[in-house]
Amino acid sequence: MTKPMTMSQKILAYHAGKEYVEPGDLIFANVDLVLGNDVTTPVAIKEFEKIGIDRVFDKDKIAIVPDHFTPNKDIKSAQQCKMVREFAKKYEITNYFEVGEMGIEHALLPEKGLVVPGDLVIGADSHTCTYGALGAFSTGIGSTDMACAMATGKCWFKVPEAIKFILYGKKTGWTSGKDIILHIIGMIGVDGALYKSMEYTGEGLKSLSMDDRFTIANMAIEAGAKNGIFEVDEKTIEYVKQHSTKPYKIFKADEDAEYSQVFEIDISKIRPTVAFPHLPENTKTIDEITEKIYIDQVVIGSCTNGRIEDLRIAAKILKGRKVKKGLRCIIFPTTQNIYKQALKEGLIEIFIDAGCVVSTPTCGPCLGGHMGILADGEKALATTNRNFVGRMGHPNSEVYLSSPAIAAASAVLGYIGSPEELGMKGDDE
């Protein structure tokens, strides 16, 4: 009889052709999708060419999304994108998404139906862990591993231990998936799940939309995790049916599976949360912020929080209001489809009328790339995922992390605050 396994163990075992794997095992497994972007793919291309083969393992199972420094911010980024474009054309990569049809990779791939439950996905980007929201095992890898996977369709893995997060209760007020994951990282620290799988289950999942789950899975890496993964439920299946025709396989953890830690979290008690510089673990609830922290810039977007629900929440707060004089508010819809939906719903008009900048999908300032770099001494509040020293620009700048609700309210207030300060209650009240 097979020993009990977690969700992640089962997916890895299945793709390695084994009945059982345990934490610490080194395995070689078949992958369902290999991902790269305009920063990491050029390095992978150079390594791929050294292998000396004239084809990729499967042109349908490679996705390349130029999203970091696009539209090209300078000559160097233009050269990077040119290399990627030519590689995609030479090897007839099906899922190459040019500027104009692309989006931020971790929002685009699920939208395009390229990831489904049970998949094993690797990407040369650390936030590849986002797809765990769909019940897939997805993790970031280096460019050399991407090169080998493009050639062979395989990658090596060290099977991770797992931490179980049992969520119960229901979201209240302005609390979102971003607040839940910031709460968790604040609780366990940025190395609290080091090389472990963060596995989410419990009745509380019913309160979480798919957009909430993508956000939570996305920031597994900020807790040091190998991956984050959600138990598949009706919401997952509904999303997959809307976006994909790929067959899928559901892996459910055995009841007696072993975990290194188990946390039970009542999400009804989680308040909107802000991560202070310079680590995502430096968290305070909005109620614990006693001083007024004045800010120069607000960023709403990124692979963490630029989906349609995020934009709707921001628009609800910004409607009929103005961005504080002297403050910049930049909004990044994460895909062209999300941009179009926001246009149809009148959200873009609300943003522009409020005095916001609305950008084409791009990672932009999240990694200090372009479209919103901070100057010496400036402070930003962002819905992004990292706030390390110099992350969004000058080493002497500061980045605070929050949900779209807090970000939008702060853009109006001019300092870090809540929609409640604008007289707005949450959707549940």
| Structure tokens belonging to residue 183 | 């709460």
**Nearest alpha-carbon partner for 32 in 179, 178, 139:** 139
Instruction: State the Cα–Cα distance between residues 137 and 8, nearest whole angstrom.
Output: 6
The answer to whether residues 228 and 217 touch, using CB atoms and an 8 Å cutoff, is yes
- Is position 329 annotated in a ligand binding site? no
The answer to whether residues 127 and 226 touch, using CB atoms and an 8 Å cutoff, is no
If you search the block for the tokens 């050029």, which residue do you land on? Answer: 42
| Structure tokens belonging to residue 312 | 């709707």
- Is position 366 annotated in a ligand binding site? yes
The answer to whether residues 120 and 136 touch, using CB atoms and an 8 Å cutoff, is yes
**Nearest alpha-carbon partner for 7 in 257, 248, 214, 239:** 257
- Look at the alpha carbons of 162, 163, 166, 171 in this order and tell me if their dihedral is positive or negative: negative
- Look at the alpha carbons of 176, 182, 187, 188 in this order and tell me if their dihedral is positive or negative: positive
Strand partners, 138: 121
- C-alpha distances (whole Å) from 282 to each of 235, 278, 405, 406 are 32, 7, 19, 17
> Exposed e or buried b for every residue in 169-187, given b needs 16+ CB within 10 A?
eebbbbbbbbbbbbbbbbe
The answer to whether residues 305 and 403 touch, using CB atoms and an 8 Å cutoff, is yes
Instruction: State the Cα–Cα distance between residues 351 and 400, nearest whole angstrom.
Output: 21
- Helices 308-318 and 210-218: angle between axes, nearest 10 degrees: 100
Instruction: State the Cα–Cα distance between residues 231 and 219, nearest whole angstrom.
Output: 17
Specify the length of the chain in residues.
Answer: 429
- Is position 81 annotated in a ligand binding site? no
Binding residue ranges for [4Fe-4S] cluster: 303, 363, 366
Binding residue ranges: 303, 363, 366
